[in-house]
Amino acid sequence: MFHFVQILLAVPIRLSYPTKFIGKENIPKGPCIIASNHTSNLDAVLLAVHTWEKKFYLAKKELFKNKLFGSFLKSVGAIEIDRQATDVGAIKNCMRILKKGKKLVIFPEGTRNHNDDMQLGQVKHGVAMFAIKAKVPIVPMFIAKQPKFWRRNKVIIGKPFLLEEFYGKKLDNEILTQASDIVAAKINELRESQLNALTKKK
């Protein structure tokens, strides 16, 4: 189902929302977490049509209210999560996916960011927790602008990194905050590189 939908949407999405992906080669083989800023509901779609391998995405439970649409979302890799509570079921699903060698995409801000300067909002602990528990690399990703019809955009994918310094430690709030700050810094590095590139062009 996933690749069928991917092929079906690839041409119309790429034409309607022309987006240049830089650094796709940085996505490693095997399990990893792709952590990105969140600009719109199209973020996951754009990544899906520009990279072939199936990935799994956390999606708010409200999107699954319609059973038919919810079933479709699950078939293309969406994982239902309750953002207002500690969703043990979603946590177990994410860990199972990573242990199976699959890729998980998380927008660590937890909601869409509408800042004009694309400054990263507060980063939640999920990315760090999963990466440490599963001992998998994190791939930072930065979306330069909110996707708009026929507007050119750019997505930068950075080099993967590990949070090895936290392996074996008790994952209390302090440790997870420290680890999440590293995740935020890596995404912000990509943002800064984009801003610097724009400055040089002027």
Evaluate if pTM is beyond 0.85: yes
Q: Where are the domains of the chain?
A: 20-43+84-201
pLDDT value at position 163? 98
- Residue 75 confidence (pLDDT): 86
- pLDDT score of 10: 94
pLDDT at 199: 66
Of 136, 148, 133, 82, the residue nearest 105 (C-alpha): 136
Report the DSSP beta bridge partners of residue 103: 32, 55
